[in-house]
Every structure is written in structure tokens, then in C-alpha cells.
Amino acid sequence: MEGKMSLYYDDAGDYLEIFIENSSPTYGEDIGDDITLFKKEETGEVVGIGVLNFRKRSKSLNDIKLNLPFNINFSALKV
């Protein structure tokens, strides 16, 4: 994954979306427990995630811990 990260939270719908910008067109794949992975149509690469009922999963928005259904390797990032 490469690009700027985009975060969107809908308070009324309690929905968090995290995307790598400029990653469209995409499709969503529901993987259960109110989690949707967004993938590039051409490659199937994961470029985003949607979390329904996000606030219910976090005790405090100041200390957010979220179990993602994939691993992120920050050591592979180039700055």
C-alpha cells in the first residue's frame, strides 16, 4: 500500500473508514463482525477498511486500540 492515509468517521452511523488515498476503484468485502475490507478492483490489494459500530469497540476515543484483520509492516515503509 502506498499513498496518504485518509480517515473518515461518521458519528451518527458510528462508522470509521480508513483508506489510502487515490486507491479507486475499489470493492468492499465483508469479513464479518461489522468489518469491511476495501480492495483495488484490478489487483485485489487491500487499500482500506471500514468498521461499523466503532465507538462500541473503544472505551475511549483518546486511547483507540483496534484489532485489524491484517498485519501492517511499518518497517517496510520508505520515508
Report pLDDT digits (tens) over 19-72: 876 667 788 999 888 999 888 888 888 888 899 998 887 766 666 666 666 666
Is 76 a residue whose pLDDT tops 80? no
26 in Cβ contact with 46 (< 8 Å):
no
Q: Is residue 27 part of a domain?
A: yes
Structurally, the chain folds into a number of domains equal to 1
Q: Give the predicted TM-score (pTM) of the model.
A: 0.69
Domain span at 12? 5-62
Q: Is residue 10 part of a domain?
A: yes
Would you state the pLDDT for residue 41?
Answer: 87
Q: Is residue 71 part of a domain?
A: no
Q: Is residue 73 part of a domain?
A: no
Instruction: Give me the long-range contacts of 68-76 (CB less than 8 A, separation at least 24).
Output: 69/31, 69/35, 69/37, 70/37, 70/46
Q: Is residue 13 part of a domain?
A: yes
Q: Is residue 58 part of a domain?
A: yes
CA distance 76 to 3: 14
